Amino acid sequence: MIDSSLKQLSAALAGKQVSAAELATVFLERIERLNPTINAFVTIDRDRTLAQARAADERRAQGERAPLLGVPLAHKDIFCTEGWLTTCGSKMLANFVSPYDAHVVSRFKAAGAVMLGKLNMDEFAMGSSNETSHFGPVKNPWDLDRVPGGSSGGSAASVAARLTPAATGTDTGGSIRQPAALCGLTGLKPTYGVCSRFGMIAFASSLDQAGPMTRSAEDSALMLNAMAGYDERDSTSLQRPPEDYGRDLDKPLAGLRIGLPREFFGSGMDDDVRAAVEAALNEYRKLGATTVEVGLPNSGLSVPAYYVIAPAEASSNLSRFDGVRYGHRAAEYGDLVEMYCKSRAEGFGAEVKRRILIGTYVLSHGYYDAYYLKAQKIRRLIATDFQRAFEQCDVIMGPTAPSVAFRFGEKSADPVQMYLSDIYTIAVNLAGLPGMSIPCGFGAHGMPVGLQVIGPWFGEAKMLNVAHQYQQGTDWHARMPEGVK
């Protein structure tokens, strides 16, 4: 059961081979046994989960037939969940119980999915290794001495360790794709605006986007069908007719044109990653695809532009955490200003403070034009690069991350080294494009490698088709880490 796809679980529930309550119990028991080692979940609540499962069983008994009805899954702790703790990986929100559900969470509830709990993450989604979480780092199920990636590290580790069949994540600069790559999963960041950000704690609003983290592309399509959709409570939510993201899964790939950005295949990528990516490209050629070199001449500026824009937005978004209305408040203070200062000094970790300082600086009078405005111009150039590249190809491919999962502590002392983990993913967020990571082999130390697939705007169904066809002929995505059996 723990190795079944969402489709198989859905069929087993429909065929009454298993009830939602039984299924939830199987996963809860695994979580209770393995989570003390992996630290992927920060909140579990057996009684509430089982109550949701029984409610799903009841809905089925009433004749309801939605594909995710009774299927267990878990949410990154950045999504507000009514009545449950929503910590965003921070001491600042360690005591915060949300009074409402995020839009994405309410969509899953309406679909009848059962929530197994809330997943660990880098504090306020700032990080690439999960080491910035207030609740301690998540372990990579493939090697407990290595990071799972971040910031959706709890989501990635929980799915890889079969603690949940699927999870939600969010991706501001790579936080779905990079942990998916490091843990051997399929992760999809949709086009900006496809999933509502309502109730998703904001990091950098113009970049943040929710998406599924699953074992297969087929499962990602099922998840995205539930998550996507217009929401009037998010002013950047797109009003588009509903789509079946799985509609093209079975289309053959003959004639597919794959763009290979020369900037992604230069130096910077480890040899083991390169070998796995090249092998995957050969697989695609066998499936009838052709490859063409494309240029993304401004992509080298994506990391610097991101580290102006994202902190700028974060410094504004995080100003709401002032110790007044919710979250951490210092125990002792003299006046109001001291209460703000002490609460924020105690509640935020070092990486969050670094971003607030950078963001405040680049937005300040006198530096705004030199940094923030400049970064916005670069952002436009990057989007235009992609637009031109997509005139020559249907999808773009390359590595998701420059290396396999690294060891704890290896990059945490040097923020710039950590920031470079997202060198291949960040441009996609800046351009608002959809991107995926799919497992394409194993590299050094037997760690998984991810292939990045980037689609044109609203190319989710195409990307899923491209990923699914590859997964029909390979089994990288089906491998299970030995240590967590």
Nearest residue to 130 via CA among 217, 39, 201: 39
Do the Cβ atoms of 229 and 196 come closer than 8 Å?
yes
Member of 175, 299, 302, 465 binding ligand GLN (CB under 6 A): 175
Distance between CA 379 and CA 207 in Å, rounded? Answer: 11
| Catalytic residue list contains 139 | no
Which residues are within 8 A (CB) of 347 and not within 5 positions of it... i.e. 6 or more apart?
A: 90, 91, 92, 321, 323, 327, 328
Member of 70, 165, 174, 184 binding ligand GLN (CB under 6 A): 174
Q: Is the dihedral of CA 130, 131, 136, 141 positive or negative?
A: positive
| Catalytic residue list contains 76 | yes
Sequence-ordered alpha helix ranges (H) in 318-414: 336-347, 350-363, 374-389
Do the Cβ atoms of 348 and 340 come closer than 8 Å?
no
Do the Cβ atoms of 396 and 454 come closer than 8 Å?
yes
Among candidate residues 98, 128, 129, 151, the one labeled active-site is: 151
**Smallest gap, in angstroms, from Cβ of residue 151 to ligand GLN?**
4
| Catalytic residue list contains 216 | no
Among candidate residues 19, 76, 421, 437, the one labeled active-site is: 76
**Smallest gap, in angstroms, from Cβ of residue 399 to ligand GLN?**
16
Could you tell me which stretch among 166-174, 220-228, 363-371, 446-454 binds ligand GLN (CB under 6 A)? 166-174
Q: Does 78 bind ligand GLN (CB under 6 A)?
A: no
Distance between CA 205 and CA 265 in Å, rounded? Answer: 30
Residues 243-282 that bind ligand GLN (CB under 6 A): none
**Smallest gap, in angstroms, from Cβ of residue 79 to ligand GLN?**
13
Residues 286-345 that bind ligand GLN (CB under 6 A): 310
**Smallest gap, in angstroms, from Cβ of residue 303 to ligand GLN?**
9
Member of 104, 126, 201, 276 binding ligand GLN (CB under 6 A): 126
Quick count: other Cβ atoms within 10 Å of Cβ 358? 18
**Smallest gap, in angstroms, from Cβ of residue 207 to ligand GLN?**
8
Residues 398-427 that bind ligand GLN (CB under 6 A): 422
- Element at 210 (helix H, strand E): strand 210-214
Member of 112, 127, 261, 448 binding ligand GLN (CB under 6 A): 127
Among candidate residues 128, 155, 175, 302, the one labeled active-site is: 175
Do the Cβ atoms of 143 and 447 come closer than 8 Å?
yes
Member of 43, 81, 86, 172 binding ligand GLN (CB under 6 A): 172
Could you tell me which stretch among 122-130, 241-249, 319-327, 376-384 binds ligand GLN (CB under 6 A)? 122-130
Nearest residue to 130 via CA among 162, 178, 166: 178
Member of 125, 224, 378, 420 binding ligand GLN (CB under 6 A): 125
Q: Does 123 bind ligand GLN (CB under 6 A)?
A: no
Distance between CA 413 and CA 123 in Å, rounded? Answer: 16
What residues line the site for ligand GLN (CB under 6 A)?
125-128, 151, 171-175, 203, 310, 422
Catalytic positions, written as ranges: 76, 151, 175
